[in-house]
């Protein structure tokens, strides 16, 4: 999957160092970087499904399930430990992933997208309308959790969350890379290339896709917990279809052929949103939309693809 070139290794290293060190100097960026990493984790899941040629337009549902798991737990029991929440959220998302996955992996392409969309919209309307349990559109506040039994001040907690998210992002990227390099990952790509042949080899395409689907639900749930904790709230918006679109958007923006693209895409997306929203209201979608169109029309392999191409050209130059 990931070309094992020195250039990529360097980029990974530089990215990690940047994410780890820079917030120490720019305090206001701490939460932003944590959000980028958390979104990147969700997008890793989208990239897994894209390997099989399937686009889920409903993955925000697992993102929302992770977020609401943390929110419900916090409301029911007053507080929680972050170490526990990052297990709880993905666990809930995984269970839902298996249940929904059992249905959706029977379908491909547009039917797969549509069915995911339908499931996510059912969840969204329940979150929005079951006011009694979910507070409706206002969402549920997620109280600041402790971490490993220690309570932190808001400032210190920002850093705890950042470094935890960074560690999880590294672990998730490594795991996804291993998964995609494994026979199971190759079979996933075989679904895109030629599903009938895969079946003739004696493999169950549905089971292969289900593994990928559940893995992606797990990652979305993890990202959902982290974002809910970082923003201290979970709202139905987390599960709306535009959120699902955003994740697919980020995957294509970064370049879906590469796990690293998830984080490159998420960084560009969140930074544009952060600055455009601060400077000019109502323009961040406009700018991102234009960027996406340019990427699709002129750089089909995403930002990472652009960067690799440039590297290759530089390499050839005398």
Partner 1 sequence: MSRNKSQGLAVAARMNSTILVLATLDGLSYAALVFLVSVGLSLIFGVLRVVNVAHGSLYAYGAYMAATLSMIVAPISPWLTYPALLVASILVGVIIGGLMERFLLRPVYGRDDVLQLLITFAVFMIMDNLQRLIWGVQPIFASEPLKLLPNVSLFGVTYTSYQVILLPLIAIAALFGLRYFLRYTLAGAVILAVTEDREAATAIGIDAKKVYITTFMIGATLAALGGALASPTTSLVPGMGTDMIVLSFAVAATAGLGQIEGTAVTALLIGLARAFVIYIQPEFEVLVPYLIMVLVLLVRPMGLFGVNHVRKI
Please state the closest distance from residue 256 (CB atom) to partner 1, in A. 8
Q: Which stretch binds partner 1 (CB under 8 A): 16-24, 31-39, 158-166, 291-299?
A: 291-299
Is residue 286 near partner 1 by the rule CB under 8 A?
yes
Burial 241-259 (b: 16+ CB within 10 A, else e): bebbbbbbbbbbbbbbbbb
Binding mask 25-64 for partner 1 (x = CB under 8 A): -------------------------x--x-x-x-------
Is residue 122 near partner 1 by the rule CB under 8 A?
yes
CB 233 within 8 A of CB 223: no
Collapsing DSSP states into helix, strand and coil, what is residue 148? coil
Please state the closest distance from residue 189 (CB atom) to partner 1, in A. 14
Locate 157 and state its tokens: 């907690």
Locate 206 and state its tokens: 């549905």
Beta bridge partners of 81: 146
Locate 21 and state its tokens: 């060190």
CB 277 within 8 A of CB 195: no
Whole-number Cα distances in Å, 137 to 56, 133, 203: 24, 11, 44
Select 23 or 97, whichever has its Cβ closest to partner 1.
97
CB 163 within 8 A of CB 148: no
Q: Which stretch binds partner 1 (CB under 8 A): 31-39, 80-88, 154-162, 285-293?
A: 285-293
Query: Beta-carbon neighbour count of residue 193 at 10 Å?
Result: 11
Please state the closest distance from residue 53 (CB atom) to partner 1, in A. 8
Query: Beta-carbon neighbour count of residue 3 at 10 Å?
Result: 12
Crossing angle for the helix pair 82-104 and 154-181, nearest 10 degrees?
Answer: 40
Is residue 306 near partner 1 by the rule CB under 8 A?
no
Tokens 């392999």 correspond to what residue?
301
Is residue 115 near partner 1 by the rule CB under 8 A?
yes
Is residue 200 near partner 1 by the rule CB under 8 A?
no
Select 182 or 283, whichever has its Cβ closest to partner 1.
283
Locate 240 and state its tokens: 């709306």
Select 3 or 300, whichever has its Cβ closest to partner 1.
300
Collapsing DSSP states into helix, strand and coil, what is residue 246? helix
Binding mask 238-277 for partner 1 (x = CB under 8 A): ---xx--x--xx--x-------------------------
The correct pick among 98, 289, 309, 312 for binding partner 1 (CB under 8 A) is 289
**Chain-centre distance of CA 157, in angstroms?**
22
The correct pick among 72, 84, 107, 163 for binding partner 1 (CB under 8 A) is 107
CB 153 within 8 A of CB 24: no
Binding mask 137-166 for partner 1 (x = CB under 8 A): ------------------------------
CA gap 98, 218 in Å, rounded = 10
Please state the closest distance from residue 287 (CB atom) to partner 1, in A. 8
Is residue 131 near partner 1 by the rule CB under 8 A?
yes
Which residues form the interface with partner 1 (CB under 8 A)?
50, 53, 55, 57, 103, 106-111, 113-115, 117-119, 121-122, 125-126, 128-131, 195-196, 199, 205, 241-242, 245, 248-249, 252, 282-286, 288-290, 292-293, 296-297, 300
């Amino acid at each position: 999957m990931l070309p094992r070139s020195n250039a990529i290794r360097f980029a990974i290293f530089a990215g990690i160092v940047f994410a780890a060190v820079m917030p120490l100097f720019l305090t206001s960026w701490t939460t932003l970087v944590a959000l980028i990493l958390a979104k990147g984790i969700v997008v890793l899941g989208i990239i897994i499904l894209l390997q099989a040629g399937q686009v889920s337009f409903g993955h925000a549902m697992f993102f929302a399930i992770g977020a609401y798991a943390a929110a419900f737990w916090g409301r029911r029991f007053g507080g929680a430990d972050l170490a526990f929440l990052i297990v709880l959220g993905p666990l809930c998302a995984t269970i839902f992933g298996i249940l929904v996955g059992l249905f959706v992996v029977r379908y491909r392409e547009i039917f797969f997208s549509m069915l995911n969309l339908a499931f996510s919209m059912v969840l969204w309307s329940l979150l929005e309308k079951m006011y009694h349990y979910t507070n409706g559109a206002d969402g549920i506040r997620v109280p600041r959790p402790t971490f490993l039994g220690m309570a932190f001040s808001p400032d210190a907690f920002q850093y705890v969350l950042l470094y935890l998210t960074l560690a999880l992002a590294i672990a998730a990227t490594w795991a996804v890379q291993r998964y995609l390099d494994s026979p199971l990952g190759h079979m996933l790509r075989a679904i895109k290339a030629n599903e009938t042949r895969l079946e003739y080899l004696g493999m169950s395409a549905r089971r292969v896709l289900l593994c990928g689907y559940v893995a992606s639900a797990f990652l979305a749930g993890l990202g959902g917990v982290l974002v809910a904790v970082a923003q201290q709230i979970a709202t139905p918006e987390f599960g709306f279809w535009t959120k699902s679109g955003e994740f697919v958007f980020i995957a294509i923006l970064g370049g879906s052929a590469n796990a690293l693209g998830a984080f490159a895409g998420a960084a560009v997306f969140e930074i544009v949103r952060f600055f455009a929203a601060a400077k000019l209201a109502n323009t961040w979608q406009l700018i991102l939309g234009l960027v996406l169109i340019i990427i699709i029309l002129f750089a089909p392999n995403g930002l990472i693809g652009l960067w690799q191409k440039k590297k290759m050209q530089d390499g050839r130059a005398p």
